[in-house]
Homo-oligomer: A and B are copies of this chain.
Amino acid sequence: MPEPVPPAPGSSADDPGRGISRRGLLGLAAAGGVGAVAGIAAGAAVVGAGRPESGSGAAARYDFYGPHQAGITTPAQDRLHFAAFDLAAGATRDELASLLADWTDAAARMTQGLEVGETGAVGGSPYAPPQDTGEALGLPASGLTITFGFGPSLFETADGVDRFGIADRRPPALQALPRFTGDALVPERSGGDLCVQACADDPQVAVHAIRNLSRIAFGRASLRWSQLGFGRTSSTSTSQVTPRNLFGFKDGTANLKAEERSAVDEHVWVSDADGPAWMVGGSYLVARRIRMIIESWDRVQLSEQEDLVGRTKGEGGPMSGGAEFTALNLSATAADGSPAIARNAHVRLAHPDLNDGIRLLRRGYNFVDGNDALGRLDAGLFFLSFQKDPARFVTVQRSLARDGLNEYLKHVGSAVFAIPPGAAEGGSIGDGLFA
């Protein structure tokens, strides 16, 4: 085992010093050769991607390999860096496959708290650029997960040419989303051939991952758009407390939780019956950049805010009564005979009972990206949801056309991605696509 490591920079609140840090491993590698690093990686018990091998918080470490990709049912980490990439014009099938192989290797290392390559930021030749950019040196794994996806455009022909020879492998479910009421989408914040979701409890670790994967892609793919999220808006585990969104309300109380194993199988993972075969164990990701008009929202009276959401602002209990986790009573009436949970309340329109029983696994983040020219914060929710078919998201989003919250929302970015299953050790993400 490596020697105890000093507290990591930027982690005064993150209980540093537990777990293995990049520096600890680096020191060990210097002492014992590269094999020592491989030995630790191989020695760690593989318990399936997305299950913690060790520790919690800053010290949490999730295995990259497994039947499902990590970062879906993994307890939602606090910080996000999300990126969409486009393949370079003229990129070939071999270049796409090699990029995915290189990304897999780098992700498998970084999620273990290792540098992106064996010679790292300082271990290689002084006359070569460092293999790792270095800003995460000394930081622990911080619960990093890296999740890869394929956009519809990857399977489309360009100028009549099947760019990567995979047009016939396209999952029928992977279709561009239809236009929804109120959409104000910006092309520069939408779409993409590939996506990478990096979640971690330390933002420097998430940023380091996207930066290094972007660097690895150089010449083969380039960033199309990217988004940082500073605070999670969903719990994906019953062990987590429900966080609040920028409307000030608890968000994701009724979210699918990893512990609901059969519900996750039913709603999230692509099964043999769903197909295609190379997607079994995978899922589909919908990303929506939802600007919140918070200055207007903040002028709405409390009772109306609660009616529009359908829950109380403090406790988060349904307007039909009870505490946060009390089930909604959609038929309950108020003293005046009107529905206790309003007809246009968000929680009613999003409820499975109004949506063919559909439940989405949400994994969104709060964002603030400066302000606009009128002095309003460019703030909102970067919505992420995983489901076994994007059509399920479409059903719910169409139901939300009547959502009273829409007056305070603007959807400015949108994308959908096929999330292949996890890679087996020795394999690569999406290798089933090229088999």
Interface size class of A (residues with CB under 8 A): 35 or more
**By the criterion CB–CB under 8 Å, are A368 and B207 in contact?**
yes
Contact with B along A357-389 (1 / 0, CB 8 A): 000000000101111011111010000000000
A210 cross-chain contacts in B, Cβ below 8 A: 377
Residue-wise, chain A 125-159 has the 8 Å CB interface mask toward B (1 for contact) of: 11111101111111000110000000000000000
List residues 64-122 of chain A with CB under 8 A from any CB of chain B.
75, 77-79, 81, 83, 121-122
User: Closest chain B residue to A189 by CB distance?
Assistant: B370
Taking a contact as CB atoms under 8 Å apart, the answer to whether B13 and A201 are in contact is: yes
Within the complex, what minimum Cβ distance (angstroms) separates A164 from chain B? Answer: 20
For the complex, give the distance between the alpha carbons of A60 and B13 in Å. 9
Number of copies: 2
Stretch at the interface among A34-42, A263-271, A296-304, A345-353: A296-304
Asked if residues B13 and A127 are in contact (CB atoms below 8 Å), the reply is no
Q: Which residues of B contact A366 (CB under 8 A)?
A: 135, 204, 207
Q: Is A243 an interface residue (CB 8 A)?
A: yes
Are A130 and B248 in contact, with the CB atoms below 8 A? yes
Would you give the shortest CB distance from A119 to chain B, in whole angstroms?
Answer: 10
A298-B12 contact given A7-B241, A305-B130, CB 8 Å threshold: no
User: How far is it, in angstroms, between the C-alpha of A132 and the C-alpha of B247 when the chains are bound?
Assistant: 11
- Shortest Cβ distance from A115 into chain B, in angstroms? 10
CA distance A133 to B230 in the complex (A): 17
Residue A182, interface by CB 8 Å: no
Give every chain B residue within 8 A of A242 (Cβ-Cβ): 9
Cβ-based interface call for A188 (8 A): yes
Asked if B244 and A138 sit within 8 Å, CB to CB, the answer is yes
* A239-254, CB < 8 A from B: 240-250
Pairwise interchain contact B301-A128, C-beta atoms closer than 8 A? yes
Instruction: Find out whether the CB atom of B12 lies under 8 angstroms from the CB atom of A13.
Output: no
A142-B368 contact, Cβ under 8 Å, with A134-B248, A313-B122: no
Select one of B78, B244, B313 contacting A130, CB under 8 A. Answer: B313
Known: A201-B13, A248-B121. A369 touches B370 (CB 8 A): yes
Contact of A249 among B134, B188, B225, B245 (CB under 8 A): B134
Complex: A240 Cα to B13 Cα, angstroms: 11
Q: How many angstroms between the C-alpha atoms of A369 and B301 in the bound complex?
A: 33
The residue in chain B whose Cβ has the minimal distance to the Cβ of A132 is B248
- Is residue A43 contacting chain B, with contact meaning CB distance below 8 A? no
Given A223-B376, A224-B375, A371-B223, A129–B300 Cβ distance below 8 Å? Answer: yes
A165 on the B face (CB < 8 A): no
Min CB distance A139 to B, Å, is 8
Nearest-neighbour CB distance to chain B for A75, whole angstroms, equals: 7
Quick check: is A193 within 8 A (CB to CB) of the other chain? no
Chain A 207-232 interface mask (CB, 8 Å, partner B; 1/0) = 10011001100100011111110111
Q: A12-B56, A58-B13, A241-B9 known; A301 and B135 CB under 8 Å? A: no
A248 to B202, CA, bound (A): 16
Given contacts A12-B78, A312-B122, contact A231 B203 (CB under 8 A): yes
Contacts of A203 in B (CB 8 A): 79, 203, 230-231
A178 at the interface (CB under 8 A from B): no
The reply to whether A81 and B368 form a contact with Cβ atoms under 8 Å apart is: yes
Chain B contacts for A201, CB-based, 8 A: 12-13
A-B contacts, 13 listed (Cβ < 8 Å): A12-B240, A13-B14, A26-B314, A121-B248, A127-B302, A128-B302, A130-B298, A135-B366, A138-B241, A207-B366, A226-B368, A228-B228, A228-B230
